[in-house]
Amino acid sequence: MESLQNKRILLLTSALNGGGAERVFCWLALQLERHGARVTVFSLSGNPPPESSLQDVHILGWRSERDYPAIIWKLSREIRRARPDLVVGWSFLSNLAAILAVRLSGRSMRTICNERSRVSELLKSSGWMKCALLRYLTRWCYRRADRVLCNSRAAQDDLINRFDIPVERLGVVPNPVDMERIQKIQTQCPPEFEGAAHPIYLQVARLSREKGAEDALEAWSALPEERRGTLFFIGDGPERSQLETLIKTRQLEGQVRLIGYRKDPYGYMHHCDVMLLCSQYEGFPNVVLEGLAAGAVVVATESCDNVVELGKAGCCLTCPPKDRQTLTALMLKATQPTVRQELQRQSRIRIQQFSPPRVLEEYVQQFLSF
Give the relative orientation of helices 68-82 and 92-105 as an angle to the nearest 10 degrees.
60
Residue 54 confidence (pLDDT):
73
Q: How far apart are CA 278 and CA 260, in angstroms?
A: 17
Beta bridge partners of 204: 234
Taking only the tens of pLDDT, the chain with its 370 residues reads: 557 788 999 999 988 866 677 888 988 999 999 888 999 999 988 666 555 567 778 888 777 788 889 999 999 999 999 999 999 999 999 999 999 999 999 988 999 999 988 899 889 878 889 999 999 999 999 999 999 999 888 889 999 999 999 999 999 998 898 888 888 777 778 999 999 999 999 999 999 999 999 999 999 999 999 999 999 999 999 999 999 999 999 999 889 999 999 888 999 999 999 999 999 988 778 899 999 999 999 999 998 878 888 999 999 999 999 999 999 999 999 999 999 999 999 999 888 888 899 999 999 998 887 6
Topology of the domain covering 179-353? Rossmann fold (3.40.50)
The H or E element spanning position 93 is helix 92-105
Beta bridge partners of 89: 12, 113
**Neighbouring C-alpha atoms within 13 Å toward the C-beta of 304:** 28
DSSP string, 145-206: SSEEEESSHHHHHHHHHHH---GGGEEE-PPP--HHHHHHHTTSPPGGGTTPPSSEEEEES-
Residue 52 confidence (pLDDT):
59
Say whether domain 8-176+355-367 belongs to CATH 3.40.50.2000.
yes
Q: Which residue, among 306, 259, 260, 314, has the nearest Cα to 287 in the 3D structure?
A: 306
Domain boundary assignment for the chain = 8-176+355-367, 179-353
Q: Which residue, among 62, 65, 64, has the nearest Cα to 12 in the 3D structure?
A: 62
Give the relative orientation of helices 20-34 and 286-293 as an angle to the nearest 10 degrees.
80
Residue 175 confidence (pLDDT):
87
Residue type, 22: E
**Is the bond leading into 238 cis (omega within 30 degrees of zero)?**
no
- The reply to whether 8-176+355-367 and 179-353 are identical in fold is yes
Q: How far apart are CA 88 and CA 113, in angstroms?
A: 6
Q: Are 97 and 75 in contact (CB under 8 A)?
A: yes
Residue 114 confidence (pLDDT):
95
Q: Which residue, among 298, 324, 321, has the nearest Cα to 311 in the 3D structure?
A: 298
Residue 47 confidence (pLDDT):
64
